[in-house]
Structures are given as C-alpha cells and as structure tokens.
Structure 1
Amino acid sequence: MKICVESLDKGIWDAFENGPIIPKLENDGSSIEKPWSQWTDAENKKAKFDCIAKNIITSALNSDEFFRISHCASAKEMWDTLKVTHEGTNDVKRARKHIVIQEYEMFIMLKGESIVEVEK
C-alpha cells in the first residue's frame, strides 16, 4: 500500500502517517487555523493530500470495512483504525508471537511416528 500511495505523491503517504496539513496563522505567539480563503496554492495542495488519501482508502474497502472507518475524520485516523483491526495492537502482536513460539517449542514427534505422518 505504501509503495502504491508513494508512487502517486509522497505527500499523500505523509497524510496517512501524520494526518492532514492544516495551514495556520501565527498571532501573538499562538497559532490559529487559517481561513480557507487565505490559503496559498501550496497550502491548498498539501491540505488536499488528506482528501486524496481518504479517497484511496475508501475506494479499496468493502462495505463492512467502510462502515468500520466511516466515522473517521482523517486518513491517518482511518489508517490507524484499519491497522489495529487487522494487525492488532503491539501487545496483541507480541502475544501472538509468544503463542507461536510456544507451539513450536511444544511440538514433538510421537514415538513410532514418521516425518511423513507429522507433515499431515
């Protein structure tokens, strides 16, 4: 997915990883969201990356998956929701890894069993 999206524009992949770019105005040491009418062409292009990324994600999903992410406001939020859904959190990944390691360590060949029988 990363390769496909980056081939379109690296800015789109940045929207997946870091969220939308929202132009800001500096005002007395604080920043406020810049009104859309004041965005430059460059800011408009960068802000559009999130829209393109959301379109890519929603176009690739079936209706069940779409329902799962339909409440998300940004491509990053959609992407993170899908990652957790399909890969699990780091704790889940670690638990799965330990289960597989444990199953491997507990794997033994029974007395009188041949390699061919074990493969079945």
Structure 2
Amino acid sequence: MTSTFMSIFLGESQSINRLSYFNDANYSYWKTRMTLFIQANNYAMWDIIMDGPTIPQKKESKIFVPKSNNKWNDEDRKNMQQNAKAMHTLFCALGPDEYSKFFFLFKRQ
C-alpha cells in the first residue's frame, strides 16, 4: 500500500500507536478514540483520568494533608508517576490552540 492510499482511506492519525489530536472539531469521534487508546495502553491511567489523581497524604490532627515530596515512599512515587503519565497523555492529544486553553487553566490551580 502506498502512503497516499493510506492517507485517503485511513486518514492522518489512524494508528494504534499514535494519539488522535483534538482540534475543536468532531469531539465525539475524538473522545471515543482517546478513551479506547488510553484503556488499551494503560487501564490504570484511565482510572486516574476518571477518578482523579492519588495525592500522597498523611494524617495530622485527625485530618489528611498532602505529604511533602521528601516524605514520599515508593508507592507514593509510583502513584505520582502514573498521575504525570495521565496528564502527559492528555496534553499530548491536544492541538496547539486547545493546549494553550487547557494549560492556562492547569497553571491556575
């Protein structure tokens, strides 16, 4: 098959190894492709995206507060690594304009 044939019938991003970019068009199509891509590659990452990140915490005076980085154990680091991978995957799937919008929101938190 030629690359022209592949582009015509499969499109630019029809790969099981490459993310589909969101460009503010065809959201339903993009959402389905991203859901399946993430679930197929790392289902634990999908859980983080759906349930939110696991932030290392400790109990202080009957409440839980975030641990400082120097108090993290191996499990805490593993969880934070998974959180970072999930965010990286989502940000890599955004086109430049959408990335700018989401990155601005992300930095405000």
**Superposition TM-score tier, normalisation by shorter sequence:** 0.5 to 0.7
Identify the residue that residue 60 of structure 2 maps to in structure 1: 27
Distance 1:54 1:46, change over 3 A: same
Alignment of 1:78-117 (within 5 A): none
Query: Structure 1 residue 51 and structure 2 residue 84: aligned?
Result: yes
Identify the residue that residue 61 of structure 1 maps to in structure 2: 94
**Identity of paired residues, percent?**
21
Residue type at the aligned position of 2:64: S
1:20-75 CA distances to partner (integer Å, 9 max, x unpaired)? 2111101221111111111111111112222111211121221111112112339x
| Gap runs ≥5 in structure 2 | 1-33
Tell me by how many angstroms 1:11 deviates.
2.3
RMSD of equivalent CA atoms: 2.1
| Gap runs ≥5 in structure 1 | 78-120
Higher helix share: 1
Tell me by how many angstroms 1:9 deviates.
2.4
Moved more, 12-21 or 65-74: 65-74
Residue type at the aligned position of 2:84: C
Identify the residue that residue 118 of structure 1 maps to in structure 2: none
Residue type at the aligned position of 1:66: Y
Tell me the TM-score normalised to structure 2 length.
0.58
Structure having greater relative contact order (Cα 8 Å, sep ≥ 6): 2
Residue type at the aligned position of 1:42: E
Tell me by how many angstroms 1:8 deviates.
2.9
Size of the alignment, in residue pairs? Answer: 75
8 A contact 1:11–1:46 mirrored in 2: no
Query: Structure 1 residue 42 and structure 2 residue 75: aligned?
Result: yes
